[in-house]
Amino acid sequence: WLLGRFADARLPTMAAAELAVFEALLTQPDPDLQAWILDPAALAAQQFAGLIAQLRQFHQLDPVPA
C-alpha cells in the first residue's frame, strides 16, 4: 500500500536514475522496507535514504516543523 500509492503518483515523472533506485528498493525484504519507512533511523542502506524520505513525505509520516 505505501509503495503502491507512491508509485502510482510518482513513477511517471521519475528520472531513469530515480527509477533504478526505486526498483532496487523493491528487491529488499518487506520487514526491512517497513522498518525503514516507519523509522528512518533504522536505515542502514544510504542509497535508499532520499527515496525513503520522499515516501515518508508523500504519506505525511514526518511531523510538520513548527
CB atoms within 10 A of CB 58: 13
Residue keyed to cell 510518482: 10
Give the DSSP letter of residue 41. G
Helix axes 49-58, 16-26, angle to 10 degrees: 90
Q: Percent of the chain beyond pLDDT 90?
A: 61
- Predicted confidence at residue 66, as pLDDT, reads 58
Give the pLDDT band of residue 2 (cuts 50, 70, 90). confident
* pLDDT reading at 12 higher than 80: yes
| pTM of the entire predicted model | 0.82
Give the pLDDT band of residue 62 (cuts 50, 70, 90). confident
